[in-house]
């Protein structure tokens, strides 16, 4: 909210609190008895969420600093489960204490990068303050879209047209249009991929206010948005994501049982598709890029195997810039350091591919080499199925490679 305020938008007066006592102090400083306590987690649907202690709702209206302290004590340090967090929930380490604003009308406004429009698109609706996903499902016509030419920027007439369609009266539509332009400038300046204001409201005095917001920034812009990314709360992220960022690896955790280590995003997607085609489910997307070191490959294995669901690993490397022997050294080092007991299927083609195969063969480790991607995918799917069945039994499985 501070960033939006700095961009010239009006937001509710408030501060973040990390302890119940700090919540009490912040509430006293705001100087009003009408307050709102909002759990700060990286997920939507907070209003309908449930805390692990039983408290219902991650957004609560309170009427005194004492009540703010009490409610905060039931939020801070507890997991909040919402429709977006799933069964894992998200830990709430801080709350936002702010003044309560009484809106006359609540609308929805967002700017997103949209492939279909090849650039930014304004999204608006007269139905704000509720789940926009539910609105879109029940009444698709209530969602308004206005594409923006990223080279020309957002024009005043475009913003005004959308504001009027959202139901704002003429005297207020111009102010709303000015807000939209400020949000768009913020969106471009900070390399955002999404800025969602829900609700964008008219208060009881007839002024426009951004009552709540969610912003997503392009991770590729971290090198030039250092002040923004310095604010990242890693307690809200999977520890594997943090390790991947630290090791300069592109990692996305999934729900499957087959770990993937690939170089190149396109090849990674093709590898995951091949696994799905043969009945398996990928446990992750992991792209080591074209200049990975032995240490990065070892770290990649640590990240993959930290997921208990992983029962087999497929390594698929096409060596162009990336040398296959470097990957092989990383695999061998990881297998020895981590004492891996799950099967590893490796496909290494390209630069120093033969040398890589020799390293693996001489390592004495049970690493299965395969030259064909489809055959490798079939093999790793079968092996993961065996490991899953063995785990359910439970019995220990040992793999013996064919002897020349």
State the catalytic residues. Answer: 108, 196
d(CA 183, CA 109): 10
Residues 6+ apart with CB under 8 A from 189: none
d(CA 141, CA 160): 19
Distance (Å) of CA 258 to CA 60, 374, 378, 382, 384 = 42, 15, 12, 10, 7
For every residue of 188-224, DSSP letters joined together read HHTTEEEEEEEEEEEETTS-EEE--EEEEE-GGGTTT
Backbone φ/ψ region at 58: left (φ over 0), alpha (ψ -120 to 50), beta = alpha
d(CA 182, CA 9): 7
Residues 6+ apart with CB under 8 A from 100: 12, 32, 34, 35, 36, 61
Q: Are 303 and 333 in contact (CB under 8 A)?
A: no
The one-character DSSP state at 31 is T
Q: Which two tokens stand for residue 373?
A: 């991607």
The interaxial angle of helices 65-73 and 20-30, nearest 10 deg, is 150
């Amino acid at each position: 909210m501070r960033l939006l305020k700095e961009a010239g938008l009006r937001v509710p007066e408030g501060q973040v609190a990390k302890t119940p006592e700090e919540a009490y102090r912040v509430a006293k400083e705001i100087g009003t008895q009408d307050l709102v306590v909002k759990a700060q987690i990286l997920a939507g649907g907070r209003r309908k969420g449930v805390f692990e202690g039983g408290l219902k709702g991650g957004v609560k209206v309170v009427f005194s600093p004492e009540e703010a302290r009490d409610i905060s004590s039931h939020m801070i340090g507890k997991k909040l489960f919402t429709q977006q967090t799933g069964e894992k929930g998200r830990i709430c380490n801080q709350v936002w204490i702010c003044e309560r604003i009484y809106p006359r009308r609540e609308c929805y406004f967002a700017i997103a990068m949209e492939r279909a429009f090849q650039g930014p698109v304004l999204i608006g609706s007269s139905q704000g303050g509720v789940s926009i996903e539910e609105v879109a499902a029940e009444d698709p016509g209530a969602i308004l879209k206005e594409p923006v030419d990223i080279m020309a920027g957002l024009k005043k007439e475009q913003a005004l047209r959308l504001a009027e369609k959202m139901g704002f009266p003429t005297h207020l539509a111009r102010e709303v249009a000015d807000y939209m332009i400020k949000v768009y400038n913020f969106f471009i300046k900070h390399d955002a991929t999404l800025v969602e204001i829900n609700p964008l409201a008219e208060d009881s005095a007839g002024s426009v206010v951004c009552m709540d917001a969610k912003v997503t920034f392009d991770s590729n812009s971290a090198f030039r948005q250092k002040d923004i990314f310095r604010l990242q709360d890693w307690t809200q992220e999977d520890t594997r994501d943090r390790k991947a960022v630290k090791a300069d690896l592109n990692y996305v955790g999934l729900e499957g049982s087959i770990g993937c280590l690939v170089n190149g995003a396109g090849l990674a997607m093709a590898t995951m598709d091949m696994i799905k085609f043969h009945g398996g489910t990928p446990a992750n997307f992991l792209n080591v890029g074209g200049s990975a070191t032995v240490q990065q490959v070892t770290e990649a294995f640590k990240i993959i195997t930290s997921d208990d669901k992983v029962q087999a690993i497929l390594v698929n490397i096409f060596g162009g810039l990336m040398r296959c022997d470097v990957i092989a050294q990383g695999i061998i080092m990881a297998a020895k350091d981590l004492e891996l007991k799950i099967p590893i299927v490796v496909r290494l083609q390209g630069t120093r591919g033969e040398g890589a195969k020799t390293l693996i063969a001489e390592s004495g480790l049970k690493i299965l080499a395969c030259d064909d991607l489809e055959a490798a995918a079939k093999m790793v799917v079968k092996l993961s199925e065996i490991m899953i069945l063995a785990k359910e039994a439970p019995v220990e499985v040992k793999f013996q490679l064919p002897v020349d």
